[in-house]
Amino acid sequence: MRKLPVILAGISAAAMMAGAVTRSPKNDISRNLDIFTAVYKNLQTSYVDSIDVDKSINTAIAAMLDEIDPYTEYIPESEQADFMTISTGEYGGIGSYIGTRDGKTFVSEPRPNSPAIRAGLIPGDVFITIDGDTVTSMSSDVISKKLRGQAGTKVNVTVRRPYGSRELSDTTLSFEITREKIDVDPVPYYGVVRDDIGYIQLTTFNEKSFQAVKDALLDLKSDPRVKSIVLDLRNNGGGLLESAVQIVGLFVPKGTEVLRTRGKGQVNERVYKTTAKPVDTEIPLAILVNGSSASSSEIVTGAIQDLDRGIIVGERSFGKGLVQSTRPIPYNGLMKVTVAKYYIPSGRLIQAIDYSHRNPDGTVARIPDSLTTVWHTRAGREVRDGGGITPDVKVTYPEGNRLVYNIVRDGWSFDFANRYAAAHPVGVPAEDFEVTDTIFSEFKRFIDPDKFKYDRACEMVLDQLEKSAETEGYLNDTVKARINALRDLLRHDLNHDLDLNRKLIETYLGPEMVMRWHGTRGSIIQTLKTDRDVDSAAVVLHDPARYRSILSVKSK
């Protein structure tokens, strides 16, 4: 029998009892349980309408847990599949990401080497029926559950394929797909970037993550070109604590302390050290992070920073320093509960929000930088607690705009990639692809100006100016004429706006198109060509003096 997954630590029941003196008195617990039971029985026996038993109890449990923190939760048996997938990295199904737009659920990205790929599903296929049931009005969650199932069982799927015919009109196709055990690859891509940098992308911390990263690292080190390593933890929300400790152990000596967890009561402390021989303790190392790098990602990032083993590049991480453990509860349920806080080698806690101190309205806020404390890395560099991991090399991105946002959100780039791939079934290698002038011109023609809507900042400002002038009594004929003249001068032209934002649009359009021919791997290769974080890391890794300077204490 598989052990229950432990998210960010395994705290034994005996250790949990150590803090019993700080818990609520037994009399208070008993009294409140009696009150709850009485209220619920009265509702069941006296309320004028019938009450959904499961729904009302689950609502009560959720409301109680919401008062604690976002990570403590009750997981009924019916909802455990996704939870187990995160921790084990496997599930039974057809192997495809799905998306929803305009009430339609569609294939957004089949996984490499999956039953979905082998059956012939492609991005854009809209689900019509599954095993004879019409699913066009069902939610994506329901459709996902219908697609999953025991490995070896069959599922019959009917889809509508945009641009599926020779004339690029829609077609209806049916597939019989045999479900398989789908392994979620935590390392979807690794390779050499910027001529001599070994790049590894890690998307989650599950039972397979350590071996996947180790294998990638060993393979890259065998390449004579590779002089340094970049480990990409951007958008990695975390997972298993033990996996994070193991991955740190690839780069630091055996027996190195990575973190400590402290739960309720002074004796409830556990120390995590690396236990295996490292792969390389000397090769220059950069970790990429952003605001969605959390939990186990921050353990790796924080430990590497505190031990002065490598540089951190990107944006400040999320700031989750809480540890959860899962335990079974009656009727096949699971309880995921926050049992401890973790402290990285410098001794700091990087938790950004103190859920035990809420505002009068129940909301919580990040700990302001002014209230954080200075700690020191092994070499003596100053680092701070209370707000995630602050990069050694901060990277700023240009402010986004509604035009590009709507191109992605409303599926214009996704749909164009589908249409272009239908007309050009054989693409160039991912390393060689570029959005040419011809392709971009075709993309502009693909966008229907009557259907494409986006906020035009200048027009909004002028509308507000006109309203304010009217409110304050200044909107005479002369003022109105001048505002209209400005409106004419600043009138938006979609074709011009697309050309103006071409470079940013291409960072989304290019990977979307390459994915149609070369899947996830090709899309990542295309994305990395213009990746600012990778460029920033490369600048430092290619300058050994600067790399050493960042990791040393500045003389005063």
Q: Which residue has the tokens 């966008």?
A: 447
User: Are 359 and 336 contacting, i.e. CB atoms less than 8 angstroms apart?
Assistant: no
Active site residue 306: yes
- Known active-site residue 320: yes
Nearest to 299 by CA among 254, 242, 214: 242
d(CA 215, CA 247): 11
Task: Say if CB 313 and CB 257 are below 8 A apart.
Answer: no
Dist. CA 264–CA 271, nearest whole Å? 15
314: left (phi over 0), alpha (psi -120 to 50) or beta: left
**Helix, strand or coil for residue 540?**
helix
Dump strand ranges (E) for 214-332.
Answer: 228-232, 257-263, 269-273, 285-289, 311-314, 322-329
Question: Using CA atoms, how far apart are residues 149 and 145, in angstroms rounded to an integer?
Answer: 8
**Which member of 108, 293, 295, 413 is catalytic?**
295
**Distance (Å, whole) CA 209 – CA 2:** 18
Q: Could you tell me where the DSSP H helices lie in 67-199?
A: 80-88, 115-119, 140-147
At residue 89, φ and ψ (nearest 5 deg) are 75, 25
Euclidean distance between CA atoms 70 and 63, whole angstroms: 11
How far, in Å, CA of 294 to CA of 363, rounded? Answer: 21
Eight-class DSSP state of 349: -
CB atoms within 10 A of CB 445: 10
φ/ψ of residue 348, rounded to 5: -85, 150
Q: At what angle do helices 457-471 and 477-489 cross, to 10 degrees?
A: 180
Dihedral sign, Cα of residue 150, residue 155, residue 161, residue 167 = positive
Burial 455-475 (b: 16+ CB within 10 A, else e): ebeeeeebeebbeeeeeeeeb
Q: Is 531 a catalytic residue?
A: no
Residue 16: which residues within 8 A CB-CB, separation 6 or more?
263, 264, 268, 339
Which of 146, 264, 320, 336 is labelled catalytic?
320
Token pair of 147 as six digits: 């697609």
Please report the DSSP string for 155-183 in residue order: EEEEEEETT-STTS--EEEEEEEE-EEEE
The residue annotated as part of the active site, out of 69, 185, 306, 392, is 306
Write down the residue that tokens 């029926």 correspond to: 129
Residues known to be catalytic: 295, 306, 320
